[in-house]
C-alpha cells in the first residue's frame, strides 16, 4: 500500500463520525439511526425495514436489561465548556474554553464544528509554532498555512520583477532602441526561470535563509555574567469559535440526540446555559431562524457546512467528506423572500463569478415562512417575555418548522470552457 493511501485511510478513520455522537456498537447505532431516519417507507423494502426494526428492538431490550444489573453501563457526560462574549450590541462570540485541546478536537474530528482564529480551519497554530521551534524538523514539517504564505510571497516577487522588466522594455521602445541590452536579456531570463520554478513546484516550498555573517568577538570583552538568557514558555493562544448556527445545531439537535439514543456512549452537554432570547435578540430572531433552518437542512443530509464569508455567500458546502479531504463544492446564497431583502441580478452574478474562480457551484436558496408579518410582531413580543430555556427552544423549533425552502443550482457559462 502506498504512503498516500495509508495516510488517506488514517484520515478516514480519524474523521469517521459525521457528528459528535459515538455509539457503543457502531453497527447497532447505524441500524437504529436508519430506522429513525426513514420517513418514507416506500424508499425501503418492507422486509428490510421490519428486519432492521426487530433487530433494533432486541438490541435495545438487551441493553436495558444489562443496564439494570450493571451500573457501569450508564452513559457518561461529555462536557464542552463555552464562553459567550458580547462583542457588539446583541451580538455574541461563542468560543470553546477547555483547559486543553480535547474539547475542541472532539468537535472538530466529529463533524468539523468550529474554527481556529489563527488557522485556516482546524486549530493548528500551537503545533505550527512547536514545529518552527523544533530544530530536528529542519523545515520538513510545513503546515498548509505556511505553504500558502510562502507561495504568495513568491508570486509577489515574480510580479514585482515582471513590472520592472516591462517598464524597461517600454522605455526602450520610447527611445527607439532596437537592440536590447545584455542586462535586459539576463533579467528576462531570470524572470522566466523564476516563473518556471513556481509552475513546477508541487511539493513543500521553503525559503532559503541568507547565511548569517560570522562575527569574531574578543573573549575579554564579554564574561558569563553579562549573558542573560530568556526563555519564553509557548502557550496555545488560539481561540476556537463556533458560529451561532453550529452552536444551535449542537444544542438543539446533537445534544438532545445523545440523551435520547439508548446506545450512545456519551451525553453531550454544552455549558454554561444561556437563555436563547438573550443570545438571539428580537431584531435578529427572524434572520437567525432562516439561517438555522437552511444550516440544519443541509446538515441533516450529511453535508459539512461552513461559513462562506470569504466567497461572498452565506455558507460553503463540502460533499459529505469535509475540508481535510477536498475543497468545498458549493456556495450557498440565501434569499429571504418575505423580508423585503432585494437582491439584484448583478449581486447574484458577481458572487457566482467569485465562486467560479475557485471551481465552486452556487446553490441559490429561497426561504420564507408561512407566517404573516402581523404574526411575527406577536412572536417577537412573546420571545422577549419567555422565562425558561425550554420554552425558548420549543418556540424556536416551531418557527423553524414553518419555513419553506426551495433551492436552485446555478452554473456560470464561460465562452472559454463551454465551446461547442
Q: What would the pLDDT profile of 67-114 be if each residue is shown by its tens digit?
A: 655 554 567 888 999 999 988 777 889 999 877 788 998 999 888 999
207 is catalytic: no
Whether 371 is in a domain gets the answer: yes
Catalytic option among 78, 251, 306, 360: 360
The domain of 403 spans 280-420
* Buried residues in 7-42 as b, exposed as e (16+ CB within 10 A): eeeeeeeebeebbbbbbeeeebbebbbeeeeeeeee
pLDDT at 176: 67
CATH of the domain at 321: 3.40.1350.10
Q: What are the per-10-residue average pLDDT scores of the chain (420 residues)?
A: 62 76 60 44 61 72 62 72 85 85 89 89 83 57 66 79 78 66 66 71 45 42 44 75 94 85 81 91 92 94 91 90 86 89 85 90 93 91 91 93 92 67
381 — phi, psi (to 5°)? -65, -45
Asked, for residue 119, whether it belongs to a domain, the answer is: no
CB 343 within 8 A of CB 402: no
Say whether 249 is catalytic. no
Residue 390 domain flag = yes
Q: Give a yes or no: residue 389 inside a domain.
A: yes
Domain annotation covers residue 110: no
Is 5 in the active site? no
**Would the CA dihedral through 101, 104, 108, 109 be positive or negative?**
positive
Model confidence pTM above 0.85: no
pLDDT for position 245: 95
Q: Please report whether residue 178 resides in a domain.
A: no
Asked whether residue 379 is domain-assigned, the answer is yes
Choose the catalytic residue: 310, 327, 390, 404.
327
Element (H, E) at 278: helix 276-279
Share of the chain above pLDDT 70, in %: 70
Q: What is the pLDDT of residue 240?
A: 92
Which of 15, 290, 318, 330 is catalytic? The answer is: 318
pLDDT of residue 38: 43
Number of domains in the chain: 1
Per-residue pLDDT at 251 = 93
Q: What is the pLDDT of residue 238?
A: 87
Is 52 part of any domain?
no
> Is 75 buried (19+), middle (13-18) or exposed (0-12) by CB count in 10 A?
middle
Residue 13 has a pLDDT of 73
Amino acid at each position: 500500500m502506498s504512503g498516500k493511501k495509508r495516510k488517506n485511510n488514517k484520515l478516514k478513520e480519524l474523521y469517521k463520525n459525521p457528528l459528535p455522537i459515538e455509539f457503543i456498537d457502531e453497527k447497532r447505532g447505524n441500524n437504529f439511526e436508519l430506522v429513525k431516519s426513514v420517513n418514507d417507507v416506500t424508499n425501503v423494502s418492507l422486509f428490510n425495514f421490519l428486519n432492521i426494526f426487530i433487530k433494533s428492538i432486541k438490541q435495545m431490550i438487551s441493553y436495558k436489561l444489562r443496564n439494570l444489573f450493571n451500573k457501569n453501563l450508564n452513559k457518561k457526560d461529555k462536557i464542552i465548556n463555552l464562553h459567550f462574549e458580547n462583542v457588539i450590541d446583541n451580538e455574541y462570540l461563542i468560543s470553546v474554553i477547555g483547559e486543553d485541546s480535547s474539547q475542541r478536537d472532539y468537535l472538530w474530528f466529529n463533524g468539523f464544528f468550529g474554527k481556529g482564529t489563527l488557522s485556516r480551519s482546524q486549530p493548528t497554530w500551537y503545533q505550527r509554532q512547536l514545529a518552527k521551534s523544533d530544530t530536528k524538523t529542519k523545515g520538513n514539517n510545513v503546515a498548509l498555512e505556511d505553504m500558502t504564505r510562502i507561495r504568495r510571497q513568491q508570486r509577489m516577487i515574480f510580479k514585482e520583477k515582471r513590472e520592472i522588466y516591462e517598464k524597461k522594455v517600454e522605455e526602450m521602445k520610447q527611445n527607439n532602441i532596437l537592440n536590447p541590452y545584455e542586462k535586459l536579456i539576463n533579467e528576462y531570463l531570470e524572470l522566466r526561470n523564476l516563473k518556471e520554478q513556481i509552475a513546477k513546484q508541487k511539493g513543500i516550498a521553503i525559503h532559503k535563509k541568507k547565511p548569517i555573517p560570522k562575527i569574531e568577538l574578543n573573549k575579554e570583552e564579554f564574561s558569563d555574567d553579562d549573558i542573560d538568557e530568556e526563555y519564553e514558555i509557548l502557550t496555545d493562544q488560539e481561540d476556537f469559535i463556533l458560529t451561532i448556527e453550529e452552536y444551535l445545531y449542537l444544542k438543539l439537535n446533537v445534544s438532545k440526540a445523545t440523551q435520547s439514543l439508548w446506545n450512545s456512549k456519551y451525553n453531550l452537554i454544552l455549558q454554561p446555559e444561556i437563555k436563547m432570547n438573550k443570545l438571539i435578540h428580537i431584531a435578529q430572531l427572524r434572520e437567525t431562524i432562516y439561517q438555522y433552518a437552511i444550516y440544519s437542512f443541509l446538515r441533516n443530509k450529511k453535508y459539512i457546512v461552513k461559513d462562506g464569508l470569504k466567497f461572498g455567500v452565506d455558507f460553503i458546502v463540502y460533499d459529505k467528506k469535509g475540508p481535510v479531504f477536498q475543497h468545498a463544492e458549493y456556495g450557498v446564497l440565501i434569499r429571504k423572500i418575505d423580508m423585503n431583502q432585494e437582491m439584484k441580478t448583478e449581486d447574484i452574478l458577481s458572487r457566482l463569478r467569485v465562486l467560479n474562480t475557485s471551481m465552486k457551484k452556487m446553490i441559490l436558496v429561497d426561504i420564507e415562512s408561512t407566517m404573516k408579518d402581523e404574526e411575527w410582531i406577536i412572536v417577537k413580543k412573546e420571545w422577549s417575555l419567555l422565562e425558561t430555556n425550554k420554552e425558548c427552544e420549543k418556540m424556536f423549533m416551531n418557527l423553524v418548522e414553518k419555513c419553506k425552502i426551495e433551492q436552485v443550482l446555478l452554473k456560470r457559462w464561460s465562452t472559454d470552457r463551454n465551446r461547442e
